[in-house]
Structure 1
Amino acid sequence: MNPVHLQTLLAIVEEGSFEVAAAVLGVSPSAVSQRIKALEKETGRVLVRRTNPATATEAGEVLVQAARRMALLQAETNSRLRGRLERVPLSVAVNADSLATWFRPVLADVAGFRSATLRLRIEDEAHTLALLRRGDVLGAITREAAPVSGCDSMPLGMMRYRAVATPELRDAHTRDDGVDWANMPALRFGPNDALQDSDLEGRLDDAVRRHRAISQIPSSEGFLEATRVGLGWSLAPELQVDRLIASGELVLLDATVVQVPLYWQRWRLESDLLERLTASVAAAAAALPAL
């Protein structure tokens, strides 16, 4: 299979159009189109959906993943042979809570790799595996232990979440029988955030949960600040709220601990940089309670 054709397919998927891919590759749009047609003829499959943006078909995603692997190996090889800083892209999917807490030492480690660049994709840990399966990233923080085809899976530990609020918000929504979960304002990270709903199972039925006052804050740091100033109660990582509980700015609403297992899944590929990245993730995850 022609490596140039694979590189062209990857450029189209990354840039979202034949025209932009042509500009990035320094060739004409017609040349890009001819390369993809040749690749589709060779494979006997349609590889690109001619939509806006252009996307890979299921067959195309298989080749995109292969193209990314080739790009990583080529960049590493160039770095060794040329004795210069060939920037190797390390694409990783990580959930926002991990990035804001235990994952941060990985950033410092990659800074010391010198020949690498880090491209992070932020997604809920329940959904990062889709990026790995499509070949958009070479590693992902995920809840899933079972490895994706062609990948290895490594347990990292548990993210522990606690229901917290300001003392004032708790006191304003506490009845004789406990916290008034139905009427206390709440915070949600985003539309894919299902942790809070799972935490309320057995306390509130679905109909009541849907009609609560909920603010959506799609930033880990902003989510914590919104909790601290009393915009709503939240289910927040222990690693973030322990100091605020110790200072009295936040209080625990109950004794429940929601535990989310985390795993590192990565391509099964011989790559020095990928091995170093995996070692860095494992070391950083030492801050997490064991599975």
Structure 2
Amino acid sequence: MDLQLDQLRALHAAVTEGTFDAAAKRLQVTPSAISQRIKALEDAAGRVLLQRTKPVRATESGLAVLRLARQVELLAGDTARELGAAHSPIRLPIAVNADSLETWVLPALAAAPAGICFEIHREDEEHTTRLLRDGTVMAAITSTSTPVQGCKVERLGAMRYRPMAEPCFARTWFGNGATAAAYAVAPVVLFDRKDDLQDRHLRRRSRQMLDPPRHYVPSSTGFAEALRLGLGWGMLPDLQSANLRDTELVAIDGDAFIDVPLYWQQWRLDSPALSSVAAAIADAAAESLR
């Protein structure tokens, strides 16, 4: 296949921006030029690469070519910087779980070299590998130690979570202890419907499936605030609860905790930009995680 650089850039821009018009604006060409380049790319590949929907979406074949396009763009950016084009930014899409994003990841990214523009996709750590697999991101913080095809993996450590609640809530619902009977009726706060952490703790404590009243609060900061306001109990990372006073939140189940292991997965590319970000993430994790 004879895949041209301008064709790959057109594909990448179209998927990233969502429309041919937006892709044309980003690349400073006409929408017709974007359409022609993508059509030529599809002819070269012998496959339909894009679904012409709003927003446009890559087909299964398109995802394979999209990964190549993003790899080429990253390496081209590295080369431009090596040749002295310091003004040439490098766009680096990464996937990060909400709790890491709200606690230790942003300071780590701030320590990365200047000139890297981050596109952060917030996703549960158990689902970030999907974004790696389909080429949406080049690196991800994940709970999966098995590397995605074409990626390498490094263990970062673990985030420790404890069942926490507002003191009055704890006295009302767990006055006689954190028993299975109490857990069965006490309201609980979850991040979203993918969040299994609270149910993991319930299964450990009761050895059965419990279905207490549930609140869903899809924000890491909002989740902690929901606990502080007494909406329910929930599994809060030590990195967040350390900033709260005992009068705001208390542990409701002694020393019970769950450690969630975290790993850094990234594409196997000889990219100085990607390597520098990986190093910054590893240094921050060494200071923040267990």
**Correspondence for 1:85:** 87
- Determine the C-alpha separation between the residues in 2 that align with 1:282 and 1:24: 33
Equivalent of residue 10 in structure 1, options 9, 12, 20: 12
Q: Indicate how the Cα distance of structure 1 residues 243 and 20 shifts in structure 2: closer, same or farther if over 3 A, else same.
A: closer
Tell me, yes or no, if structure 1 residue 261 matches structure 2 residue 261: yes
- 1:93: how far off? 0.7
**Correspondence for 1:57:** 59
- 1:277: how far off? 0.7
Deviations 1:32-54 (Å, cap 9, x if unpaired)? 22222221121111111122211
Deviations 1:76-133 (Å, cap 9, x if unpaired)? 22223244322111221100111122323313202xx122222211111011111111
- 1:288: how far off? 4.7
- Determine the C-alpha separation between the residues in 1 that align with 2:136 and 2:13: 12
CA contact (8 A) 2:109 2:280 kept: no
- Determine the C-alpha separation between the residues in 1 that align with 2:57 and 2:178: 51
- Determine the C-alpha separation between the residues in 2 that align with 1:169 and 1:280: 40
* TM-score, normalised by the number of residues in structure 2: 0.91
Q: SS of the counterpart of 1:278?
A: helix
- 1:19: how far off? 2.9
- Structure 2 residues without counterparts, runs of 5 or longer: none
Which residues in structure 2 correspond to 1:61-210 (within 5 Å)? 61-110=63-112, 113-174=113-174, 176=176, 178-179=178-179, 180-201=182-203, 203=206, 205-206=208-209, 208-209=210-211
**Correspondence for 1:277:** 277
Q: How much is the aligned-residue C-alpha RMSD, in angstroms?
A: 1.9
Q: Indicate how the Cα distance of structure 1 residues 176 and 78 shifts in structure 2: closer, same or farther if over 3 A, else same.
A: closer
- Determine the C-alpha separation between the residues in 2 that align with 1:263 and 1:284: 13
Q: Indicate how the Cα distance of structure 1 residues 143 and 178 shifts in structure 2: closer, same or farther if over 3 A, else same.
A: closer
Q: SS of the counterpart of 2:114?
A: coil
Deviates more, 1:78-87 or 1:157-166: 78-87
- Determine the C-alpha separation between the residues in 1 that align with 2:21 and 2:116: 28
Letter in 1 for 2:111: D
Q: Indicate how the Cα distance of structure 1 residues 213 and 38 shifts in structure 2: closer, same or farther if over 3 A, else same.
A: same
- 1:135: how far off? 1.4
- Determine the C-alpha separation between the residues in 2 that align with 1:177 and 1:31: 68
Letter in 1 for 2:258: V
Deviations 1:222-266 (Å, cap 9, x if unpaired)? 21122122121111101211343x634222121321111110001
Q: Indicate how the Cα distance of structure 1 residues 176 and 224 shifts in structure 2: closer, same or farther if over 3 A, else same.
A: closer
- Determine the C-alpha separation between the residues in 2 that align with 1:168 and 1:177: 14
Deviates more, 1:41-50 or 1:28-37: 28-37
Letter in 1 for 2:249: L
CA contact (8 A) 1:89 1:116 kept: yes
Q: SS of the counterpart of 1:259?
A: strand
Letter in 1 for 2:13: A
- Determine the C-alpha separation between the residues in 2 that align with 1:259 and 1:190: 19
Deviates more, 1:194-203 or 1:88-97: 194-203
Which residues in structure 2 correspond to 1:233-248 (within 5 Å)? 233-244=233-244, 247-248=246-247
Q: State how many pairs are aligned.
A: 284
- Determine the C-alpha separation between the residues in 2 that align with 1:117 and 1:277: 11
Tell me, yes or no, if structure 1 residue 287 matches structure 2 residue 287: yes
- Determine the C-alpha separation between the residues in 2 that align with 1:188 and 1:124: 12
CA contact (8 A) 2:109 2:277 kept: no
CA contact (8 A) 1:76 1:86 kept: no
Of all paired residues, the percent bearing the same amino acid is 43
CA contact (8 A) 1:166 1:249 kept: yes
Deviates more, 1:154-163 or 1:192-201: 192-201
- Structure 1 residues without counterparts, runs of 5 or longer: none
CA contact (8 A) 1:16 1:53 kept: yes
CA contact (8 A) 1:169 1:184 kept: no
Letter in 1 for 2:222: G
CA contact (8 A) 1:158 1:288 kept: no
- Determine the C-alpha separation between the residues in 1 that align with 2:289 and 2:106: 17
